[in-house]
Every structure is written in structure tokens, then in C-alpha cells.
Amino acid sequence: MNRWTTADLPDLTGRTVLVTGATSGLGEASVRALARTGARVLMTARDTARGRAVAPDGVEVVELDLADLSSVRKAAAEVRERTGDRLDVLMNNAGVMGTPYLRTVDGFELQIGTNHLGHAALTWLLMPALRAAGTADRPSRVVVLASLAHQGGSLDLDDLNWERRAYRPDRAYSASKLADLLFAAELDRRLRAAGDPVISVAAHPGLTNTQLLGNSLRRRGRLAGMLAGPFNALTTQSVERGVLPQLNAGFADGVRGGDYIGPGGPAETRGFPAPARRSAAAQDPGTARSLWAVTADLTSVRPDPAA
């Protein structure tokens, strides 16, 4: 994976890709890169007018609010209908970071609800389409976007929604990204056990100059908001570089189920795609199995694979 760039994306003619949260940042950069590959690209947006305004020619927009499970179900059904129930790559890119304590439509804490629960439900609902498109030689892929922040995370499976603990935005974000990594690993274990032609891969962008980090700083007050731009400029890499790990995870040759890909530079903060490190908590299969069950209970979506 040395110095892999968007120039190494293969010809994807005949393949169908869905990218969530693609109206800005890493999602928008992913869609723009994929639109040049010959793939059929679908992108999700909470605001479809905004989605259509930024979508490259030929890219289809699907309305999706990951903080609303009814929207997740509707979007999954629409994607399956539009694509003839065949999806080659699902890139779970959308996310929120560092928000004050807010709840989703379904009553979940916003960060765990959007970053993990909404994406898990979407993945399960789209699994028939992913399974139908995959083959033993070229399995379909689910790409889960994680974060360096997972390393500071811990999960309380009895209080995922921060109803009993004192809420801290940074800890809640780290927990949601830890949940993403655990979900990606458990999904891949279950796909292997079922013998399905689908793999699950995780990726993270290091420190990248997106609106996500800037918005998080601005929520911390006027001074932090004023520093958001200079802080990003000094400490982060460009979106064009930060998007490479997730594109590599979704489309590069040699990627295997269960892989975790991030920037290969110092402390995984920047650089070209390379194998990334998980925290010990992110490698706990018992927690991953328990999270899988809790996620199914909270979302009321049937896990797939079920076994």
C-alpha cells in the first residue's frame, strides 16, 4: 500500500457504490474520486437539495438522516430498489463529532446514534444487496470509518446513551468510534462464518482538515471557534490526502476482511494508506459480540448475518 493514491483506483465500470454523508469533507471527496472511475455512485444527504448541488454529474442522491431510523429504513429500501438489489461497496462515512448532549429522533445520544447505531442498521438492511453483488473472487465490501479518537474510548454497554453518566462530548465521540471498530470486526467475523461473499474493512483519516473538527471546536466557544481555522491548517492534512485510507479500504487490491487502514505517517496522523493500529478495547471479541446484540435490541433491526 506504499504511496497509494486516487490514481490507483481501478476501473469500476459495472459496479455500484453508496457513500453516506457525502455533501462535504471526506464523503464529498470520495464521491468526486469515484465519479471518475466508471462506477455507478449513490451518495446520501440529509438535505437532498444540498446533495444535488455538490453531486458530480451522474451521481445519484438518496435522502438519509442517520439520526432517524425511519429514514434509515426508507433509504435502504430506496437503494435496494434503485440498484436492483445489487451493491458492491457501502462506505459508512457520515458522522458527527463533539456535539453537546442531544438525542436522535429515536431517543439515542446523538453521536452513538449517528456514528454507530444508524450505520449498523443501514448495513444490516443493505446486506442482501451486498451479498447479491459479491462473488468469491471479488467480494462486496463494507467500509466503516473509524478515528484515532477510538484509542481514548470505552464503552458502557448498559448506558450507551449516556443517561446515567456525566456526559462529555469528547468521550462520547471516542466511544462511538470504538463502537464502529468493534462493529466492523464483528461483522467481518460473522460474514466469514456464514461464508458470505462480503468483507468488512475499517479505515480512519488521521488528522484531516474537514468541517467535522472545525465544527467541534466552534461548539466549545467563541475563542475555540476563532482558532478552528488556524488549528486545522497547522495540524491536519488535506481532505484529498485524508480520504485515501477509506478509498483504499473500499477498492484497492489485496485488502482483506478485518483490515484496518489509516495514514502511514507519524502516529498515523497523516500520510499514505497503511495498516493501522487498534486499541486493546477495539480488539475485544466479547465486547464486540455484546455490542452486536445491544445494537440489534436498540434499533429493532434484524442483524445480517444473523448467525
Catalytic one among 101, 167, 173, 260? 173
As a whole number of angstroms, the distance between CA 242 and CA 147 comes to: 11
Q: What is the pLDDT of residues 166-225, one digit of tens each?
A: 999 999 999 999 999 999 999 999 999 999 999 999 999 999 776 655 555 555 565 555
Distance, CA of 175 to CA of 156 (rounded, Å): 9
Q: Are 16 and 83 in contact (CB under 8 A)?
A: yes
Are 239 and 26 a contacting pair, CB within 8 Å?
Answer: yes
Q: Which residues pair with 89 in a beta bridge?
A: 17, 141
Q: In the predicted model, what is the mean pLDDT of the chain? A: 93
What CATH number does residue 69 fall under? 3.40.50.720
Residue 213 lies in a domain: no
Give me the pLDDT at residue 229, please.
Answer: 56
Residue 211 lies in a domain: no
Evaluate whether 154 touches 178 at the Cβ level (below 8 Å).
Answer: yes
| CA–CA dist 62, 23 (Å, integer) | 11
The whole-number pLDDT of residue 150 equals: 96
| Rounded Cα gap, residues 79 and 115, in angstroms | 20
> Would you mind telling me the total number of residues written for the chain in this entry?
307
- Residue 305 covered by a domain: no
217 domain-assigned: no
173 is known as an active-site residue: yes
Provide the β-strand partners of residue 274.
262
Give the count of domains, the chain: 1
Is residue 223 included in any domain, yes or no? no
Q: Is the pLDDT score of 16 beyond 70?
A: yes
Asked if 257 and 138 count as a contact pair (C-beta separation under 8 A), the reply is no
Question: Model confidence over 254-297: pLDDT tens digits?
Answer: 999 999 999 999 999 999 999 999 999 999 999 999 999 999 99
- The answer to whether residue 56 is domain-embedded is yes
DSSP-derived letter for residue 4 is -
In a domain, 225, yes or no: no
State residue 214's pLDDT score: 58
Any idea what the Cα angle at residue 235 is, between residues 243 and 93, rounded to 5°? 25
Q: Is the Cβ–Cβ distance between 43 and 55 less than 8 Å?
A: yes
Range of the domain at 138: 6-206+237-297
Q: Give the pLDDT of residue 227.
A: 53
Q: Is 232 inside any structural domain?
A: no
Q: How many CA atoms lie within 13 A of 260 on its CB side?
A: 21
Predicted pLDDT of residue 31: 98
**Separation of CA 121 from chain center:** 12
Whether the per-residue pLDDT at 158 is higher than 90: the answer is: yes
